[in-house]
């Protein structure tokens, strides 16, 4: 043999091929031919051991004493900062003591009690409002029935279009046939100004509203003395829709130039 020292034989037991350009495995440092130099081809044991060691190094053992479960992912408790497996993630670390539980319960009961008290007050207010509304509605119906019985007004107003008012006359006007107040009716489709003119004409009250003279006739609420409406071109139906006045309401017909308009003492009109 001319070159006895040239080349090396493959370390693979079933190969032993003499290779003049051998390859050395970087893991096990053995020599292999080009067919077996790959770690999978010669089943490199060094690689498997390193993999096993790496796998063992990233395993996290459950902190529960009786548990041997491990996990490649670390799951730390937010309170004790220890790793626990999925089974023991609820290990009692976050459970409150009796004192803490009592304090928290009391803390949550305070707003709950406040809400209950506030709700009770609101419920009572709603109940009172509904009761008052029912009583007011019933009183208004009774008032309307009484006014209708003796109301007077233009005969050409159809019954289906009549709106009624119990009108108190101005303090300066005396009418022995009517007295101090009288039920009247007007057409609900008239303007507010025309309604005042019609009521004044029906009750024989001097009316200068269509002239430039001051001290004009206006309608006020008997309950408060407030002016019902300052715009004479407002339709009466609009005032009913806005609840500014109701059918059968007790009102005061009076002369006024006051700004703002009001009657200081409505009790004078009886």
In angstroms, the CA 226 to CA 211 distance is 24
**Of residues 159, 148, 209, 208, the one with CA closest to residue 184:** 148
Predicted pLDDT of residue 201: 94
pTM, to two decimals:
0.50
What are the pLDDT tens digits along the chain (270 aa)? 455 566 788 888 888 887 777 888 887 888 888 888 777 777 777 665 555 555 555 678 888 888 888 888 888 887 788 888 888 877 777 766 677 777 877 888 888 888 888 878 877 776 676 566 556 677 778 888 888 988 999 999 999 999 999 999 999 888 888 888 999 999 999 999 999 999 999 999 999 888 877 788 999 999 889 999 989 999 999 999 998 898 999 999 999 886 567 888 888 998
Predicted pLDDT of residue 43: 78
3-state secondary structure of 66: coil
Tell me what pLDDT residue 76 has.
Answer: 84
pLDDT of residue 1: 45
| Structure token digits, residue 116 | 């209950």
Q: What is the full DSSP assignment across 179-198?
A: -SEEEEEEETTSBHHHHHHH
What is the rounded (10 degree) CA torsion for 50, 53, 59, 60?
A: -140
DSSP annotation string for 78-123: TTT--B--STTS--STTPPPHHHHHHHHHHHHHHHHHHHHHHHHHH
Which tokens sit at 217?
């006739």
């Amino acid at each position: 043999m001319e070159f006895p020292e040239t080349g090396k034989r493959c370390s693979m037991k079933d190969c032993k091929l003499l290779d003049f350009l051998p390859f050395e495995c970087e893991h096990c440092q053995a020599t292999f031919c080009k067919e077996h130099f790959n770690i999978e081809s010669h089943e490199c044991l060094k690689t498997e051991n390193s993999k096993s060691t790496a796998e063992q190094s990233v395993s996290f053992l459950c902190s529960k004493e009786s548990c041997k479960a491990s996990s490649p992912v670390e799951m730390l408790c937010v309170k004790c900062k220890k790793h626990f497996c999925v089974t023991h993630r609820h290990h009692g670390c976050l459970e409150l003591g009796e004192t803490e539980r009592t304090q928290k319960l009391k803390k949550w009961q305070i707003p709950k009690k406040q809400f209950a008290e506030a709700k009770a007050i609101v419920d009572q207010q709603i109940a009172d409002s509904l009761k008052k509304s029912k009583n007011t509605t019933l009183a208004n119906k009774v008032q309307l029935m009484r006014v209708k019985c003796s109301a007077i007004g233009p005969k050409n107003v159809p019954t289906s279009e009549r709106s009624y008012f119990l009108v108190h006359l101005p303090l300066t006007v005396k009418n022995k046939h009517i007295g101090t107040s009288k039920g009247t009716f007007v057409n609900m489709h008239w303007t507010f100004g025309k309604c005042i003119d019609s009521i004044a004409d029906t009750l024989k009250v001097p009316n200068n509203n269509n002239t430039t003279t001051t001290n004009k006739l206006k309608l006020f609420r008997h309950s408060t003395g407030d002016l019902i409406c300052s715009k004479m071109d407002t339709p009466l139906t609009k005032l009913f829709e806005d609840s500014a006045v109701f059918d059968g309401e007790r009102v005061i017909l009076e002369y006024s130039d006051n700004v703002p308009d009001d009657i200081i003492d409505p009790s004078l009109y009886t």
